[in-house]
Structures are given as structure tokens and as C-alpha cells.
Amino acid sequence: MDKPFNNKAWFLVLPVVILVAFSAVIPLMTVVNYSVQDTFGNNAFFWVGTEWFQEMITSERFHNSLIRQFMFTGIILAIEIPLGIFVALNMPKKGWGVPVSLVLMSLPLLVPWNVVGTIWQVFGREDIGLLGAALNGMGIDYNYTQNIFDAWATIIAMDVWHWTSLVALLCYAGLASIPEAYYQAAKIDGASRWATFRYIELPKMQRVLLIAFLLRFMDSFMIYTEPLVVTGGGPGNSTTLLSIDLVKMAIGQFDLGPAAAFSIIYFLIILLISWALYTIMTNYDKGESK
């Protein structure tokens, strides 16, 4: 006999729905409202329609920030995903080393974002920073406040240090779910280390790699605090990523209409790319499992 459907269960999620409405939907509607209007103060607004969106889409400033953002995210993913897999493969699977390695890998993730930026800001200083003083002591002219390459290298190294642990821990979880019998069968068949990785370990990590890839894409595409603390978007505008440029426009210049249109376009880019990546990867996963 079928159990009767009870709609009262929806009341259990009602507080979450209300919280999401106040923390996400209502602020989003406020941003949408600003994006189609202009104001000259005194709470007086004037309808401009899609003018701010057209201005942002054709803006060289927006294009340059978007290119820098894609460069940063692409470099981050190209480094952190393979490095995270490598670290996970070399983490101990048994014994006392397991909890020790898990704790050590978790430590960077516990550091607040503004503290991460402060650490690397001091770490890279050429006068008192361990990294900056060491590089300059070896004859390498390192100065992240004046050299564009040094600034990019610093914020990339900072993000790799901070977030590679997340990829490694997710991959390690996928590896831990592989039965020991799989490795024994591969050893009996004389499979090489690469064959074991390709046909046993990598398929088991595909789902967690999808999660890691999407998380790192979204987070790196929205990164703000760390590069702002370290470089402030400089030298010049060389490390002014989308989020930093958006805050400068909204708070520094107080251009609320263009900033609102900027933020909506920014949101849609992240949403569409994340959806496309998820769709492609899940379809590939389904094809591989057949």
C-alpha cells in the first residue's frame, strides 16, 4: 500500500527558503533595479534601460579585466588540478601518516582569506620578507609591487599554496574508495604504474575531480581579498581582476548603475561557464561508464 504524501515536510525547509530570499534574491533584485536606472543623488532615479549593459559589453576596461581573469583562472586550474592529483597519489594510505598528512593538508584551508593575503604580502617583501629577501639575495631582481611578472607569480603562488590542498583532499577521498582487490588484480596482470592510474585510479577520481574543477573555477573566478591585499590590483592595473575592478567602480567611483550591470554580467559568465563545464563533464562521465 502506498504511503500518503505529506506536504507538511515542506515546512521544514521554509526557514532555509526565507533565509535564501533575504540573503540572495532580494539583494539580487536590488542590483537589477540599479542596473536599469541612473541616479544623481537625493534618492532620485531615472530609467536608462539597457544603456549600462551596452556600455559594459563594449567597454575596453571590462574586456581587459575579463582577459586577466580568464588568464588567472586558466593558470590556476592548469597548476592546481594536476598538482592536487600528484599530491593525493603520494599521500600515505595506511598507518599514522594518514591523519598527520590529512591535518597538514587541511591547515592552509583554515587560514582566512585576508590573512592569506597579509602573509604573502609580508612574505614577498624585498626588505623583510623571507621570499623577497632570499630571491634578491640570490641576485634575482624580485619586486611584486613594481614588476608585473613578479606580481602575477606571487598571486598565483599564493593561490596554489592556499587551495591545492582542497583538490588533493578530494582526490584522496576518491582514491580511498578503491578496493584493494583492484590493485592486487593489476599487480597480477603486470600493469604498469601509468596503466594502474589510467584505468583504476583516474576513473574513480572523475566525480571528485568534477567537483574540484568546478569549485576551483568558481572560486578563482570570484577571487578578491587575497590579490587586493597583496598587490591592490597593481602594478598599474596588471592584476586588477574582475572582482577588484567591480569594487573600484561601485565603491571607488560610486558608479552604481554601471557597477550593477557589471555584476550581473559577471554573475551570468560564472553561471553559464559552470553550467557548460558541468554538462560536458557529466556527459563525458556517462559515456565512459557505458
Indicate if the pLDDT at residue 287 is higher than 80.
Answer: no
pLDDT for position 119: 93
**What is the predicted pLDDT for the residue at 122?**
92
Confidence grade of residue 288 (pLDDT, cut at 50, 70, 90): low
Average the pLDDT over 164-183 and give the result: 90
The pLDDT value recorded for residue 289 is 56
> Using one digit for the tens of pLDDT, what is the confidence trace for 10-66?
777 888 888 877 777 888 888 888 888 887 767 778 888 889 999 999 999 999 999
Mean pLDDT of the chain: 88
- Kindly indicate the confidence band of residue 118, based on its pLDDT and cuts at 50, 70 and 90: very high
DSSP state of 4: P
Task: Count the alpha carbons within 13 Å of 115 in the hemisphere toward its beta carbon.
Answer: 7
* Residue 25 DSSP SS3: helix
Asked if 35 and 43 count as a contact pair (C-beta separation under 8 A), the reply is no
pLDDT of 290 over the 60 cut = no
- pLDDT for residue 3: 60
Residue 192, Ramachandran bin (φ over 0: left; ψ between -120 and 50: alpha; else beta)? beta
Any idea which of 42-46, 80-84, 233-237, 283-287 has the lowest mean pLDDT? 283-287
CA separation, residue 75 to residues 101, 157, 194, 235 (Å): 26, 11, 25, 19
Which residue carries 574513480 as its cell?
204
User: Is the four-CA dihedral 245, 251, 253, 259 of positive or negative sign?
Assistant: positive
State which fold the 61-242+270-289 domain adopts.
MetI-like fold (1.10.3720)
Q: Residues 227-257: pLDDT tens digits? A: 999 998 989 899 999 999 999 998 888 888 8
Please state the rounded mean pLDDT for residues 96-112.
Answer: 90
> Taking the domains of the chain in order of start, what are their residue ranges?
61-242+270-289
Please give the grid coordinates belonging to residue 68: 586577466
**pTM score, whole prediction:** 0.87
Contact 162, 226 (CB under 8 A): yes
The partner residues of 39 in beta bridges, in order of sequence, read 45
When pLDDT is cut at 50, 70 and 90, the band that residue 5 belongs to is low
Query: Does residue 5 sit in helix, strand or coil?
Result: coil
Closest among 69, 266, 222, 78 to 152, alpha carbons compared: 69
